Structure 1
């Protein structure tokens, strides 16, 4: 066999740290279009492409590495509008990252932009505190978007003609909002520290229905196609005093509930194996 000599080519640290990369790929529910974020040396912008050629084109035009990430990119069902979160999560002091030391502190906010070309329009503030907490959810008709912020749920029209409104004033912290397929209700998790509920908000009446509420921890609501039932995960509630290294398993179960009556039943249980 002939010997093979591999010569390593030199590269700079700047080339490594500045390598461009895409992330956050998403697709339109009813249109042949995808969208994603492209990070080019810290300059983050949204791009789209249409089937079948998938030729990419830039939608937003933010300039320079301003330290403001883009997350939770969503396309409306018709693929004509992109909604997204821009800005970093807030710290314990309630402020977002400001690497450029701007006179006006940047905020983490929800935005919308037309794919055909327009300036991004502000929908409202977010300001969530955990990494990956951005969770924008577009309504089935593509007219509204809901997201968790400041411990509650907020809703705004995607056309930007009205300010975002707070949907509820429940105790604890509301997150993971999910639209019913018919667009009439929103299911979400209502966290109360050591336990949590699956709540269903009827938009027309503002009525709240809890699905078989207990002291367990319920999360991850998923709607049935007919908007009548919700599947969710149930885990035991957290004990007030737990050992540093838990010696017990973390069992979980799948439950299904009636979105209107709140009645629910168990579908599957994981068991108590370690």
Structure 2
């Protein structure tokens, strides 16, 4: 009763109650990225359903919007990435297509919505469409990007009016594009249904070299800092995998490191049988990270929780990096 009396006796100038509209209108930030060659960060801001690209630069780090999409139209912004010099930002606008190739159109507009890759200067100005579709890999050495469409891989410069150049046509479908640190080569995954290869091709085209091909599913290529080796995941193919059923165990996955010059690879680590033998990934563009000290970071459910581990690129025991009763996402 005392609490109720105090509540009802609040002064007229007290703060307005917090209602559902306040909750729904609260801005939400996601997709934080940092430029590798400038003191800049960027992120995606969702305010009242309108999604836009924001940026902040040092030393003040004051945020400002680079795009002006004003409507709550349900069109996602994703895959935010800086160009090699930190002077422009690339992003995908539009949701992922369904099996018929149709992209989301929550407002049921009379004009068909599109999914496309856009570029915008960090100094502002109107965003410019680069290519239709989503999924791209910005080059680390020049204003260009690579992208895959079905069985074909393309490279396109970011200057206005540039035309794409096809650098490879492969069997299966291409994906998981990853540039070498110097931009001289491009790694990719050739998905062929019940198996997949990791391949390497030069931006100028030419022969595709596949690294240690097998009947397993290879993926998540990660370059060494010197560009001489590639680490990748190898997951054995299993014919009977029940959809929507939890997978606690499987044929153990492994990590292999290949010499790019020769294509030869060796296993540097393999999951234990039983708990953690089935690979479970994290929400990231790649599942392997080649870091300092020539160590490779990867997710593993070795103790029943999904954690990050690291191993030497030369092989050895996995070191738990995120201990605790929680999961890394």
Partner of 2:272: 271
1:168 aligned to 2:168?
Answer: yes
C-alpha separation between the residues in 2 aligned to 1:56 and 1:70?
Answer: 18
Contact 1:74/1:136 (CA < 8 Å) preserved in 2? no
SS at match of 1:168: strand
Partner of 1:138: 138
C-alpha separation between the residues in 2 aligned to 1:86 and 1:166?
Answer: 23
1:107 aligned to 2:114?
Answer: yes
C-alpha separation between the residues in 1 aligned to 2:150 and 2:105?
Answer: 20
Q: Deviations over 1:157-211 (max 9, x none)?
A: 1223313344432122211100001111111111111111111112224321000
Contact 1:110/1:122 (CA < 8 Å) preserved in 2? yes
C-alpha separation between the residues in 1 aligned to 2:151 and 2:118?
Answer: 20
SS at match of 1:207: coil
C-alpha separation between the residues in 1 aligned to 2:3 and 2:261?
Answer: 70
What is the deviation of 1:214?
0.3
Partner of 1:116: 123
C-alpha separation between the residues in 2 aligned to 1:249 and 1:210?
Answer: 26
- 1:62-73, aligned counterparts within 5 Å? 62-73=69-80
C-alpha separation between the residues in 2 aligned to 1:211 and 1:84?
Answer: 31
- 5+ long unaligned stretches in structure 2: 8-15, 276-329
What is the deviation of 1:248?
4.6
Contact 2:248/2:274 (CA < 8 Å) preserved in 1? no
- 1:165-244, aligned counterparts within 5 Å? 165-239=165-239, 241-242=240-241
Contact 1:152/1:170 (CA < 8 Å) preserved in 2? yes
C-alpha separation between the residues in 1 aligned to 2:205 and 2:253?
Answer: 33
Point out which structure has higher relative CO (alpha carbons under 8 A, 6+ apart): 1
- Shift of the 99–210 alpha-carbon distance from structure 1 to 2, 3 Å rule, reads same
Partner of 1:56: 63
In our comparison, the structure showing a higher alpha carbon Rg is 2
SS at match of 2:208: strand
Correspondent of 2:27 among 20, 33, 38:
20
Contact 1:43/1:63 (CA < 8 Å) preserved in 2? yes
TM-score scaled by structure 1?
0.87
Q: Which deviates more, 31-40 or 102-111?
A: 102-111
Q: How many residues align?
A: 264
Correspondent of 2:94 among 83, 87, 102:
87
Partner of 1:254: 255
Contact 2:167/2:202 (CA < 8 Å) preserved in 1? no
C-alpha separation between the residues in 1 aligned to 2:49 and 2:167?
Answer: 35
Partner of 2:13: none
What is the deviation of 1:152?
4.0
